[in-house]
Amino acid sequence: MPTDILTIETPSGTVRATAQAQGDDAYLFTLGGALRGCLYVTGTHHPSDWDQFTALRVSLGSVDVMGAIAPADSLPRYRGSSTGYRGSLLHSWTGGADSAPQSVLSPLESDSGRAPSPKIGQTLALVLRACAEQVAHRPDLPRLLDAARTRETPGLLRFLTWSARHSEAAAEQYEREAVAYRLDARAAVTGWWTAARWLAADWHPVTAVLLMSYRGSLAHRADFLPAWAELAERAGREERRRSFRISNEVRSLRAAQPRRRRGSPRATAEKSTAPVGPSGCGPVRTSPGSDRRGREMAPPPARSAPVHARDLAA
């Protein structure tokens, strides 16, 4: 297996990161110098375009920070300290890997749940970015991204299919609300003019009250209900656009899946490595709810009912 040594100058001193390929879908960096421990680099989907695998996730101590608990002895530690640190960085780009990348650093914390000092935090961020950039310019990057597509596509399809259905249902609800608001507004206008004709024909204080504008009155409802209808229509259009975009991502993911012969046994999922490296970088322990690889995407998060236009107006 090829190995490379990356030298990184940080506020805490020089960090040496030794890279080693772990199967087809990960790179293990063993840290030395100012930091001890290990980190992993794996391919993943772009945070905005879920059907495009143009991103790398760098995880401290765990090959899959999203689905596995890193062993305590593999967490990076400052030289002479027993405190390990957890966190990750998402390094993505649009187009080729040589295009301007974007890096998003997740909150870093110690194994006791505390934020690191500014000096340690800056050191960890520099190491995460340097390792991501090193892998992003490797000639075997396509292999890493292809492995990520194979690994993540089934979970992404489940989640995106659910999201598309949810957006369609939300759009239909917003559209029904918009129609109801416009009908109520039209009825309020008709009622107001009817009361105005009554008042013109025979003045009466009760009829005059009907024409006044106060909360819940005909005039008030005729004024705000069209605005509520506009908000509901706008929200419905946004949900339609979201559903259309998600459906396109689903079609793209399905089209990129390898075809299997009819009647052939289902291809087994590619095994994710649980590499054992030096400096205590051992196999990861899967978290509850994940599969043996720790790779299974979590079920879709609980979603509340769509926000009504009246809530948006408030």
Residue 291: strand pairing partners: none
> DSSP code of 169?
H
pLDDT range class, residue 241, cuts 50, 70, 90? very high
Q: Strand ranges (DSSP E) for the chain?
A: 3-10, 13-22, 26-33, 35-44, 55-60, 68-69, 77-78, 85-86, 88-92, 102-105, 109-110, 285-286
pLDDT in tens, 226-238: 999 999 999 999 9
> DSSP code of 274?
-
Mean pLDDT score, 266-291: 44
What's the token pair of residue 287? 């978290």
Question: Residue 39: inside a domain, yes or no?
Answer: yes
Mean residue pLDDT of the chain comes to: 82
* pLDDT value, residue 176: 97
From the list 242, 228, 239, the residue with the least C-alpha distance to 312 is 228
* pLDDT value, residue 211: 87
What's the token pair of residue 97? 């890997």
* pLDDT value, residue 276: 46
Question: Residue 106: inside a domain, yes or no?
Answer: yes
Angle, CA 176 vertex, CA 175 and CA 180 arms, to 5°: 115
Mean pLDDT score, 3-22: 89
> DSSP code of 202?
S
**Higher-scoring residue by pLDDT: 268, 122:** 122
From the list 40, 127, 140, 41, the residue with the least C-alpha distance to 97 is 140
From the list 43, 45, 4, the residue with the least C-alpha distance to 252 is 45
Mean pLDDT score, 266-289: 45
Q: Which domain holds residue 110?
A: 3-148
What's the token pair of residue 305? 């009912």
Residue 3 clears pLDDT 80, i.e. is over it: no
Residue 35 clears pLDDT 80, i.e. is over it: yes
pLDDT range class, residue 112, cuts 50, 70, 90? confident
CA atoms of 76 and 78, how far apart (whole Å): 7
Residue 16 clears pLDDT 60, i.e. is over it: yes
Residue 271 clears pLDDT 60, i.e. is over it: no
Residue 261 clears pLDDT 80, i.e. is over it: no
Spatial CB neighbours of 48, under 8 Å, sequence gap ≥ 6: none
**Higher-scoring residue by pLDDT: 131, 290:** 131
**Higher-scoring residue by pLDDT: 170, 290:** 170
Question: Residue 89: inside a domain, yes or no?
Answer: yes
Question: Residue 256: inside a domain, yes or no?
Answer: no
Residue type, 62: S
* pLDDT value, residue 294: 40
Q: Helix, strand, or coil here: 289?
A: coil
* pLDDT value, residue 99: 67
Question: Residue 303: inside a domain, yes or no?
Answer: no
Total domains in the chain come to 1
What's the token pair of residue 141? 């990057």
**In 3-state terms, the chain is what percent helix, strand and coil (to 5)?**
45, 20, 40
**Percent of the chain having pLDDT more than 90?**
54
